[in-house]
Amino acid sequence: MDKSDKTLWAELVTRVARAQDAQAFTMLFEHFAPRVKAFLMKSGADPTTAEECAQDVMATVWHKAAQFDPARASAATWIFTIARNRRIDMLRRDRRPEPEDLPWGPDSETDQFDALALQQDTEKLAQALNALPEKQRKMIESAYFGDLTHNEIADETGLPLGTIKSRIRLALERLRHSMTEQKETT
């Protein structure tokens, strides 16, 4: 891909962002959708899943074209980053049990000591979360309770990806330290 191709793709994404230009999107779709599908298949997705994911990626390009910043990345890099994130989301989803895979009926009797210990750990974690600085707590809540990827948090907050990762890493270190400290005092 030469410089003129990079300029063309950036211009097309910009046209989609500014005017929802269907012709520009069609050109992007025809070029990138097969490449995204091939990329996803090389990373282990079956053809049907790769096709669905590629279409989802291109729909995201249509809806979030305004978030593209040619100063930060080329259009191809931006689109393939979306594809990589969708692939990660697919892997996470595939690892989750489906409702029919979850056990039904009453669980075996939980030992009262285990139930009390779990309740205490939950309360300690809630206290540790509340003790975090607000910016770090919000990142943890988005990543772990909101189930957002780091890139999705960056898109949502407008913060650089590095800032998101640093805040989450620092928050996890604080939580780990706080939980360890609380266990040592009990």
Q: For the whole model, what pTM was predicted?
A: 0.51
Find the domain containing 28 and state its range: 3-95
pLDDT of residue 115: 65
pLDDT in tens, 10-19: 999 999 999 9
Domain CATH code at residue 148:
1.10.10.10
Same domain, 118 and 172: yes
Q: Is residue 87 part of a domain?
A: yes
Structural tokens at position 172: 């996890």
The mean of the pLDDT values for the chain is 83
Range in 25-34, 58-67, 122-131, 165-174 the model is least confident about: 122-131
Sequence length of the chain is 186
DSSP structure string for 41-59: HHTT--HHHHHHHHHHHHH
- The three-point CA angle 157-160-163 to 5° equals 95
Q: 95, 126, 161: which is the final residue of a domain? A: 95
Q: Is residue 103 part of a domain?
A: no
- Is the pLDDT at 159 greater than 60, yes or no? yes
pLDDT of residue 78: 93
Q: Is residue 105 part of a domain?
A: no
pLDDT of residue 185: 67
The tally of domains found in the chain comes to 2
Q: Predicted confidence band at 111 (pLDDT cuts at 50, 70, 90)?
A: low
Same domain, 55 and 129: no
Q: Is 101 exposed, middle or buried (0-12, 13-18, 19+ CB in 10 A)?
A: exposed
Q: Is residue 58 part of a domain?
A: yes
